């Protein structure tokens, strides 16, 4: 039999400790959001159909504290001021080239080439009739500066990305983003539930060679 006085003490202790427990839970949630994980929603068609409008993704904010960004990864970043529009300052794109990479378009099959290797891109947007966006709407030939990234949307014709800003300015710094502007790597779609999936790096990037050392 539980002593009535002991039961009252436990009940009273629970209510005294509850604010502390709630405070700890809130603090942990704030710290996780600030330093480890954050959710973002997709406001535009620039990554269709890898990411659709209103999809929600989970972003790992810690990963690039331990290694450099890699080709093929989908990243959220603070966009340069001249990239921004009504969708705010947080952009999401796929990394195509990293510092030192020679990126050009196109080969005889209209594919992007990175460091001399052609890249098949099965994730590029297709419409309902199966028509796929071109890898690029204009030829280009650039070398990504060290510490910067060449990023592109999977829906090429609807993406304000490195290619668009290269075409507008012909300035490589204006067309690339700083690696340290990255907020984190988007690694999963978690909502809507029917579209939940991991955002892994396509295997086609495995064959891309590293850039030759700078002379």
Query: Quick check: is 61 catalytic?
Result: no
Output the CA–CA distances (angstroms, integers) from residue 173 to 46, 179, 182, in the order listed. 21, 12, 16
Quickly state the pLDDT bin for 128 (edges 50, 70, 90).
very high
CA angle 147, 152, 156 (to 5 degrees): 165
Between 7 and 198, the more confident residue is 198
Q: Which of 59-73, 85-99, 156-170 has the lowest mean pLDDT?
A: 85-99
Check whether 33 has a pLDDT greater than 60.
no
Sheet containing strand 140-143, strands side by side: 117-119, 112-114, 102-105, 140-143
Q: Which of 6-20, 56-70, 89-103, 164-178 has the lowest mean pLDDT?
A: 6-20
CB 77 within 8 A of CB 90: yes
Catalytic one of 44, 46, 159, 162: 46
CA 81/CA 161 separation, integer angstroms: 13
Quickly state the pLDDT bin for 213 (edges 50, 70, 90).
confident
pTM: predicted TM-score of the whole model, two decimal places: 0.85
Q: What per-residue confidence (pLDDT) applies to 85? A: 77
Got the DSSP string for 98-150? Answer: -TT-EEEE--TTS-EEETTEEE--TTS-B-TT-PBPPS-SS-EEEEPPTTEEE
Between 111 and 2, the more confident residue is 111
Q: Which pair of tokens denotes residue 45?
A: 């068609």
CA atoms within 13 A on the CB side of 163: 27
Q: Which of 44-48, 87-91, 110-114, 164-168 has the lowest mean pLDDT?
A: 87-91
CA 17/CA 111 separation, integer angstroms: 62
Percent of the chain topping pLDDT 90: 77
Q: Per the CATH hierarchy, to which homologous superfamily does domain 38-207 belong?
A: Umud Fragment, subunit A (2.10.109.10)
CB 205 within 8 A of CB 95: no
Query: Quick check: is 157 catalytic?
Result: no
Q: Which of 33-47, 72-86, 149-163 has the lowest mean pLDDT?
A: 33-47
Catalytic one of 13, 44, 61, 93: 93
Query: How confident is the prediction for the chain on average, in pLDDT?
Result: 88
Between 179 and 15, the more confident residue is 179
Check whether 39 has a pLDDT greater than 60.
yes
Burial of 154 (0-12, 13-18, 19+ CB in 10 A): buried
Q: Which pair of tokens denotes residue 40?
A: 């973002």
Check whether 2 has a pLDDT greater than 50.
no
Q: How far apart are the first and last CA of the chain?
A: 83
CA 152/CA 167 separation, integer angstroms: 13
Backbone φ and ψ of 97, nearest 5°: -135, 140
């Amino acid at each position: 039999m539980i002593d009535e006085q002991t039961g009252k003490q436990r009940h009273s202790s629970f209510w005294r400790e509850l604010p502390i427990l709630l405070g700890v839970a809130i603090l942990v949630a704030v710290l996780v959001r600030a330093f480890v994980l954050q959710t973002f929603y997709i406001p535009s068609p620039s990554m269709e159909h890898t990411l659709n409008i209103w999809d929600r993704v989970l972003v790992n904010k810690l990963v690039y504290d331990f290694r450099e960004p890699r080709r093929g990864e989908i990243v959220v970043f603070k966009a340069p001021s001249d990239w921004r529009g009504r969708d705010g300052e947080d952009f999401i794109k796929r990394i195509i080239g990293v510092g030192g990479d020679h990126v050009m378009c196109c080969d005889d099959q209209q594919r992007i080439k990175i460091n001399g290797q052609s890249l098949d891109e099965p994730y590029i947007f297709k419409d309902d009739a199966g028509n796929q966006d071109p890898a690029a709407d204009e030829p280009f030939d650039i070398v990504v500066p060290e510490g910067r990234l060449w990023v592109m949307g999977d829906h090429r014709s609807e993406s304000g990305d490195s290619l668009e800003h290269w075409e507008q300015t012909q300035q490589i710094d204006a067309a690339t983003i700083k690696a340290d502007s990255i907020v984190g790597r988007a690694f999963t779609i978690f909502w809507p539930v029917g579209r939940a999936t991991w955002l892994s790096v396509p295997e086609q990037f495995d064959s891309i060679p590293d850039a030759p050392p700078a002379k």
